[in-house]
Chain A
Amino acid sequence: MQRVIVPGLLAVAALMFARAPYLIDAAPYESTMGLVQKIFYFHVPAAMTSMLSAFVCGIASVLYLWRRRPAADHTALAGAELVVVFGVIALVTGPLWARKAWGVWWQWGDARLTITFVMWMIFVAYLLLRRFGGPGSEVMSAAVGLFGMALVPFVYLSVNFWRTIHPTTDVVRSLPPEMAWPFRWSIVAFVLFYAALVLVRVRLERQRLALDEAYAALEE
């Protein structure tokens, strides 16, 4: 099953990514921001995928804490890593856009950027704990994953009410169709790619576990 699903997902995602630049180029310029707004077609889907991965990690963490199934732990780890990867993309493309659009590299008042940053930090902490926590770190990091996921609504609430100088505009919902189409295309491409990446990463962990077990068997 793996042999069909992963290449399948990757193929579809690759095709979509190949088509994306044409769609993005064809999309109209935004009236005030011009060319630089086109970063949005990658920046927002990356941030959304990062948040999606946070939930994947959180749910897998709960399952692991509850049942201690290795598959859940593998998925949680994969999810956490991908939060960081897609998050770093969002956090680098965001300021590149912001510098031109707002004149500053960073704006704490932009709730979504701040939330992405906080969630990114939480899952970096997950990975650090995994790496330096010694034996039993799978369980501890699962607790971080769970809390990370549970925090999303609270971070959202608090950051939104925080710097209310820049009221959060619901850009995504008000997109005109010529922009909505490449935007949705981009999101789908990102999510498909994400799904493929999770599967591959989980497979890597599973194989590593199998390798450890095989070595242990060899030692007997």
Chain B
Amino acid sequence: MTTALRAAWLIAAKDLRTEFRSRELVYTTLFFGMACVLVFAFAFAAPSGDAIAGVLWIAVLFSGTVALGRTFERERQNETLRALLLAPVERGAVYLGKLIGLMILLGGLELVLVPIIGILFTAPVGRAPWLLAGLLLSGTLGFAAVGTLFSAMLSRVQSRDILLPVVLYPLTVPVVIAGVEGTAAIFAADPRFDVARMWLAMLIFFDAVFVTLALWTFGAVMRE
């Protein structure tokens, strides 16, 4: 178990180190997130607490989708996915490594986006920082868990760019609902922290089930 985790961390570290040299993924994903927020700023005339929560989560979702597409792009181009899978580590370690890398990237994105959204939309992002962080973390994990699995599977497919969101978005509807509703409960004029906590609990439950399911499926799918 620990060897698998260490292997996962090694894979994530490799990705992070590669990324740190060029910083391409970080800059582009970050700016893409901000571009989304910009579009939403013009799309909604005067967004209420509900809509602001939606803006945040959609920006994360879209940026996440773009980042997912790139996560395995490097492997695909350099044909290193096969090498990774042949390595003497559990299949699950490859999946976890990719997942950790993606979580770090998206976490960084959220750290930047949340204050910006707070400023641009005058949203009370500092009202319950730990609760909001928990919602973002668990929601992003749920999205990334399902996304990493399908992105890996689709890496060899021609129309992967469009097939990934087509498959991923319906599958992550509960995550989006829970994330947005929980965040909206915090941002509301009359905040309901108990409601937000309920959604957080559901997200954690979702994560537990779907990370496990994704781990199993990754092994089963990558058997060839």
Contact = CB atoms under 8 A, between A and B. Distances in A.
Interface in B46-73: none
B163 A157 contact: no
B177 A132 contact: no
B208 to A, nearest CB: 11
Contacts of A161: 181, 198-199
B221 A140 contact: yes
Secondary structure type dominating chain B contacts? helix
Contacts of A129: 163, 166-167
B107 interface: no
A157 B170 contact: no
Contacts of A134: 156-158
Interface residues of B, number: 31
Nearest to B216: A65
A159 B153 CA distance: 29
Contact of A147 (B181, B198, B213): B213
A146 B154 contact: no
B45 to A, nearest CB: 21
Contacts of A139: 153, 221
A220 to B, nearest CB: 24
Nearest to B159: A132
Contacts of B217: 65, 143, 146-147
B213 A133 contact: no
B38 to A, nearest CB: 27
Contact of A143 (B153, B163, B169, B181): B153
Given A129-B163, A147-B146, A157 B174 contact: yes
B209 interface: yes
A113 to B, nearest CB: 14
Given A129-B163, A143-B150, A144-B167, A155 B221 contact: no
A148 B171 contact: yes
B94 interface: no
Which residue of B157, B173, B224 has the most chain A CB atoms within 10 A of its CB atom? B173
Interface string A110-132: 00000000100110010011001
A162 B166 contact: no
A21 to B, nearest CB: 35
Nearest to B217: A143
A155 B174 contact: yes
Nearest to A128: B166
B213 A154 contact: no
Contacts of B177: 158-159, 162
Interface size class of A (residues with CB under 8 A): 20 to 34
Given A150-B209, A150-B210, A158 B173 contact: yes
Nearest to A155: B174
A147 B216 CA distance: 12
Contacts of B163: 128-129, 132-133
A157 B202 contact: yes
Contacts of A118: 170, 173
A140 B166 contact: no
A57 to B, nearest CB: 14
Contacts of B193: none
A151 B171 contact: yes
A66 B159 contact: no
A177 interface: no
A153 B206 CA distance: 10
Contacts of B174: 151, 154-155, 157-158
A140 B160 CA distance: 12
B113 interface: no
Nearest to B177: A158
B173 A136 contact: no
Interface of B: 146, 149-150, 153-154, 156-159, 163, 166-167, 169-171, 173-174, 177-178, 181, 198-199, 202, 206, 209-210, 213, 217, 220-221, 224
11 contacts: A66-B220, A118-B170, A122-B170, A122-B171, A129-B166, A132-B157, A133-B157, A136-B224, A146-B217, A158-B173, A162-B181
The 7 residue pairs across chains A and B that have the minimum distance between CB atoms: A121-B170, A154-B174, A158-B177, A158-B174, A65-B220, A122-B170, A125-B167
